[in-house]
Amino acid sequence: MQHTDSAREQIIRAAAHQFAHRSYSLVSLDDILREAELTKGAMYFHFRSKHALALALIDTQSEIMRNTINQLLANKLSGLETLVDICFSLAMQDVTDDLAKSSLHLLEAIGRTDDIQTRRLSEWVAAFTEITRRAAEEGDLADTADPADVSRLLVAMYAGTRQVSDLENRAEYLRHLERAWLLVLPGFVRTDRLDYFAQFVRRRSTVAIRTVGRC
Amino acid sequence: MVRQARSEATRRRILDAAVELFSEVGFAATSLGDIVERAELTKGALYYHFDSKESLASAVIEETAAEVFDTINTICSSPSPAMENLIHSSFAVADLVTTHLNVRTGIQVARGLGEFNNIVAQSYQGALELIVLQLTAAEADGDLRSALPSDAVAETLLAAYLGAELLTGPTSVSADLFRRLTRIWDIMLPAIADPEALPFLRQFLSREALRHGQSTLQLE
């Protein structure tokens, strides 16, 4: 517990914890206040409504994801390797971090308003496409593979796997992700690099499963 | 607050000037007077921050060590297998050395001062500890042969790397450092890697080397 956290940060943390474990409609601002140990006044100063708070959580998580992606890009591995790393990094956050977990539930609950869900996913596809283009330049993609198509597929695969998996079963979720990657790789990776990337994906998933098993 | 900022700015100017001169004419040939002149400061300003050339050298070396360790730690904290992180961070350090004059100079000065300077000994020790940590994790990952003495492997890797830097003097093309680094791994990997993991690791190295304009040896 950091005592130097601002009231806003405390509210966000408490809200993330609440929304991570209970559905949006069942959580009240009072529940969050109680956990954050703040006054109603402090809450309303920062957030006028549950909806506004939910939006703030989604935005905060978006930023964290952007930072994760940028950090991994800064590692300067190849484009495709970076995409695998990004996918598994975000997946690990999905199962261990309250903010990530809550963001998923909140997007389901309020994602239709202002097309938040659609916009976010499009942003992702755009970001991924830049990286996939690099992968093409580096010669890792098959000649026939279109970077934008590949990116859309990967984002859909990641988001979809998340939907169909029980996130409480961490290892299983990550294994699903691994199997998905192994299935789609032959669809767009150059044939002579397939073996390498299959191993790369398996190695990443092994580390990821072990890491989340420890939390 | 303003005084602190000014003081920090002065310290920075002294260090930058020292790095320039050390890299231009070497540590021994640089005098404090030269540094004062290059930094365009007074002797008093310099002595306020540093009481000797040695303490200046220590500061330069400390900054270098901090940047190198920061680079290694950032990479090694990513959720990827330890052996990959080790290979990748060695290239990242070589990148740092070739692109940052202060880092390159810090290593040069450290070499010159060697056993006379405590910071240098601590830095090498710190580097060894980092490498041992990664090797231990790599063994747990199944990427290393079992029962390898990680201390010995770490020392060998560090010695080889420092040797590569030594051979790649300031007049060499930076490509030489990457070539030498690639060779180190070309030769070390078959010696230390688990036979099943070796083909993958060699490809990983090959890709990393290619990103730095190098090709790996076709060893059989």
For residue A46, give how far its alpha carbon lies from the nearest alpha carbon of chain B (Å).
Answer: 31
Name which of A67, A200, A206 to mutate to probe chain B: the one with the most chain B Cβ atoms within 10 A of its Cβ: A200
Q: Are A93 and A75 in contact (CB under 8 A)?
A: no
The CATH number corresponding to B57-211 among 3.40.50.150, 3.40.50.970, 1.10.357.10, 3.40.50.11540 equals 1.10.357.10
- Per-residue pLDDT at A1 exceeds 60: no
Which residues of A are less than 8 Å from B211 in CB distance? Answer: 76, 78
Which residues of A are less than 8 Å from B78 in CB distance? Answer: 71-72, 75, 85, 89
Residues with Cβ within 8 Å of A204's Cβ and at least 6 positions away in sequence, in order, are: A84, A85, A88, A178, B79, B80, B81
What CATH code would you report for B1-51? 1.10.10.60
Give residue A116's pLDDT.
86
Q: Are B15 and B59 in contact (CB under 8 A)?
A: yes
For residue A210, give how far its alpha carbon lies from the nearest alpha carbon of chain B (Å).
Answer: 10
Provide the pLDDT confidence category of residue B197 given band limits of 50, 70 and 90.
very high
Rounded Cα gap, residues B175 and A145, in angstroms: 33
- pLDDT digit string, tens, across residues B22-54: 999 989 999 999 999 999 999 999 999 999 998
Domain ranges of chain A: 59-214
C-alpha A70 chain-centroid distance: 13
The size of the A-B interface in CB pairs under 8 A is: 39
Give residue B4's pLDDT.
81
Cβ–Cβ gap B80/A204 under 8 Å: yes
Q: Return the percentage of chain A with pLDDT > 70, whole number.
A: 98
Chain B residues within 8 angstroms (CB to CB) of chain A? 74-75, 78-81, 84, 88, 92, 141, 200, 203, 207, 211
Name which of B72, B75, B76, B80 to mutate to probe chain A: the one with the most chain A Cβ atoms within 10 A of its Cβ: B80
Q: Is B144 helix (H, G, I), strand (E, B) or coil?
A: strand
Rounded Cα gap, residues A140 and A20, in angstroms: 38
Interface membership of A196 toward B (CB under 8 Å)? yes
Give residue B170's pLDDT.
65
Q: Are B141 and B58 in contact (CB under 8 A)?
A: no
Cβ–Cβ gap B200/A72 under 8 Å: no
Cβ–Cβ gap A206/B141 under 8 Å: yes
Give residue B177's pLDDT.
94
Rounded Cα gap, residues B175 and B182, in angstroms: 11
Residues of A62-92 as b/e, b for ≥16 C-beta within 10 angstroms?
eebbeebbeebbebebbbbbbbbbbbbbbbb
Q: Are A204 and A85 in contact (CB under 8 A)?
A: yes
Q: A196: nearest CA in chain B?
A: B200
Q: In chain B, where does the domain assigned CATH 1.10.10.60 lie?
A: 1-51
Average pLDDT over residues B84-99: 95
Q: Return the percentage of chain B with pLDDT > 90, whole number.
A: 75
Q: Which residue has the tokens 């080889």?
A: B160
Which class for A9: exposed (0-12), middle (13-18), buried (19 or more C-beta within 10 A)?
middle
How much is the pTM? 0.89
Give residue B199's pLDDT.
96
Q: A72: nearest CA in chain B?
A: B78
Residues with Cβ within 8 Å of B59's Cβ and at least 6 positions away in sequence, in order, are: B15, B50
- Please give the C-alpha separations between residue B181 and each of A40, A49, A181, B133, B184, in angstroms, as whole numbers: 61, 58, 32, 20, 5
Q: Are A205 and A178 in contact (CB under 8 A)?
A: yes
Provide the pLDDT confidence category of residue A3 given band limits of 50, 70 and 90.
low
Rounded Cα gap, residues B117 and B53, in angstroms: 12
Cβ–Cβ gap B211/A76 under 8 Å: yes
For residue A200, give how far its alpha carbon lies from the nearest alpha carbon of chain B (Å).
Answer: 8
Q: A68: nearest CA in chain B?
A: B78
- pLDDT digit string, tens, across residues A181-214: 999 999 999 999 999 999 999 999 999 999 999 7
Average pLDDT over residues A16-38: 92
Residue B142: CB atoms within 10 Å: 14
What CATH code would you report for A59-214? 1.10.357.10
User: What is the overall mean pLDDT for chain A?
Assistant: 92
- DSSP code at position B73: H
User: What is the overall mean pLDDT for chain B?
Assistant: 92
Question: Tokens in use for B159?
Answer: 């010695």
- DSSP code at position B80: S
